[in-house]
Amino acid sequence: MHGPAGTESRTDPHWRDGPWQKAGQRLTAHRPAAAGLTVLAALMLAVAAGLVAGGGPVGAALAAGHQSLSFTLLAGLGGAALGLLWAAAAVALGERAERAMMAPAAALTGLPLALALPLVGGLLGPQRGLAPMVMVAALIAAPAVAVIARDELRALLRREFLSAAQAAGIPNGRRLRRHILPNAVLPLAAAAWTALPRALMAESLASLLGLGLPAGVTGWGTAIGAAARAGDAVALAGPALLLALTLWALHGVGDGMRLAFATAFSTTAGGRR
């Protein structure tokens, strides 16, 4: 018999790594996620450089990227925060409140919610400010985040090590701080990430219709819409390519996070009740 020795050599060179390293390794092992991270980093650098250098069609596309990406980041963060809050409140308030809160969230994910942004954009008129638009985009992204986050939290609360902590007499507050919150970080981050591509999609669609970013602010969607209406394929290429690339990267990273983190800390599958 192989004695349970703990430190003997194993085939996997990374077997000793901590859970956070292992989660990182799993994320970068997913090829679209690794590529997506690289693309996003490169894009950020390019946009920053474009702001400094400026000029030409490339500079214009990068400048538009600055607007689109800032909007996405703000709206995405807002949507993620709203969604997580939604899910956390639902789980914390007990079963009946949970059902009452999650049913509308699930129903909303099945509607063309992104159209709410051009609606609000149109109603606010061309003099609309950026803040309400960000807020609406955040609201659009929130329900999907809430649904995923609720599932993750439910799964987390069923994990056996929480029973073990209870058997060890650890009070509820400490259990929440030391065990539940740290273990919720990565799955919830994966849930929150989905707000980013949603916010970018909603903004680009609205801007393309001329009902998104306020007049005078040019995002990728605005540029694409103008080029499409003018039939100008050359002007379209830059922003369309960048937008496609960004969306692809955001999805790739999100997919990778879902695969790497949602199952990340369940060290073994299954287990009986």
Partner 1 sequence: MSGADVIGPDDRSPLRVEGLSLLTSRDILLDRLSFAVEPGEVLALSGAAGAGKTLLLRALSGLAPKGVTVLGDIHIQGRRILVTQDGALDPLRTIGAQFTELLAHQSGMDERTALRCAAEALERFQVPAAARRLALHPHELGEAMRWRAALALAMAAEPALLLADAPAAALDPTQRVRLLSDLAAWTREAGTALLLAGRPQPDPIQADPVPSGLADRRLILAQGRLEAPEEEPTPAPPPVEPAPSGPPILSVRDLRVAFPLGRSWRGAERWLTVVDGLSIALAEGETLALLGETGSGKSVLARAILRLVPPVGGQVSWLGTDLAAAPPEAMRRARGDLQILFPDPLAAFDPLMTIGAQFAETLESLRPSRSTAQSAAQSTADRAARLAEALEEVGLPAAVLDLHPGSLRPAEAARAGLARALLPEPRLLVCDEPAATLDGSERADFLALLQAIRRRRRLALLYATQDAAEGLGIARRALVLLLGRIVESADSVVLATGARHPYSRALIAAAGLDRPALHGDPPSPLRPPTGCPLRLRCPLAHDGCAQVPPTLDPVAPGHRVACHVAQDSAQEDGKAP
Partner 2 sequence: MLRLVLRRVLAVVPALLGLALAAAVVAALAGPGWVEALGAALAALPATLALVLPALALGTVLGALLGVMGGAGAVLGGVGPAMPGFLLAAVFAATLAKAPVLLGLAALALPAAAQAATLAGRARAGAEDTVLLAARGRGMDGSALLWRLVLPLGLSAAMGGLRSAVAGTVTAAVAVESLFGRTGAGQLFVEAARAGDTGMAFAALAGMCGLTVLLSALGGALHGFIDPRARMA
Q: From the CB of 150, what's the least distance to partner 1, in Å?
A: 18
Interaction between residue 110 and partner 2 (CB under 8 A):
yes
Distance of CA 44 to the CA centre of its chain: 17
CA–CA separation, 73 vs 200, rounded Å?
A: 8
Interaction between residue 248 and partner 2 (CB under 8 A):
yes
Q: Which amino acid is at 204?
A: S
Contact 243, 218 (CB under 8 A): no
Among 94, 125, 173, 272, the residue binding partner 1 under the rule CB under 8 A is 272
Residues whose CB is less than 8 angstroms from the CB of residue 162 and which lie 6 or more positions away in sequence, other chains included = 175, 179, 180
Residues whose CB is less than 8 angstroms from the CB of residue 252 and which lie 6 or more positions away in sequence, other chains included = 30, 32, 33, 35, 36, 39
Question: The tokens of 212 are what?
Answer: 């998104």
Interaction between residue 66 and partner 2 (CB under 8 A):
no
Interaction between residue 13 and partner 1 (CB under 8 A):
no
Burial annotation 24-41 (CB, 10 A radius, 16+ → b, else e): eebbeebebbeebbebbe
Query: Which CB, 60 or 189, lies closer to partner 1?
Result: 189
Interaction between residue 170 and partner 2 (CB under 8 A):
no
Binding footprint of partner 1, residue count (CB under 8 A) = 37
Interaction between residue 265 and partner 1 (CB under 8 A):
yes
Interaction between residue 100 and partner 1 (CB under 8 A):
no
Query: Angle at the Cα of 102 (from 100 to 105), degrees rounded to 5?
Result: 120
x-or-dash string of contact with partner 1, 158-187, rule CB under 8 A: -xxx-xxxxxxxxx------xx--xx----
Interaction between residue 112 and partner 1 (CB under 8 A):
no
In the region spanning residues 142 to 161, those forming contacts with partner 1, defined by CB under 8 A, are 159-161
In whole angstroms, how far apart are CA 211 and each of 130, 174, 215, 242, 256?
12, 48, 9, 21, 33
Query: Which CB, 119 or 164, lies closer to partner 2?
Result: 119
Contact 156, 183 (CB under 8 A): yes
| Of the candidates 99, 2, 61, 95, the residue with the CA atom closest to the CA atom of residue 236 | 61
In the list partner 2, partner 1, none, the entry touching 154 (Cβ below 5 to 8 angstroms by class) is: none
Interaction between residue 76 and partner 2 (CB under 8 A):
no
Among 49, 51, 119, 155, the residue binding partner 2 under the rule CB under 8 A is 119
CA–CA separation, 67 vs 52, rounded Å?
A: 15
Query: Which CB, 45 or 233, lies closer to partner 2?
Result: 233
Residue 144, classed as helix, strand or coil, is helix
Phi/psi for 223 (5° steps) reads -65, -45
In the list partner 1, partner 2, none, the entry touching 216 (Cβ below 5 to 8 angstroms by class) is: none
In the region spanning residues 13 to 42, those forming contacts with partner 2, defined by CB under 8 A, are 32
Contact 24, 247 (CB under 8 A): no
Contacting residues toward partner 1, per CB under 8 A: 1, 3-7, 15-20, 22, 159-161, 163-171, 178-179, 182-183, 265-268, 270-273
Contacting residues toward partner 2, per CB under 8 A: 32, 107, 109-116, 118-119, 121-123, 125, 197, 201, 204-205, 208-211, 224-225, 227-233, 236, 240, 243-245, 247-248, 250-252
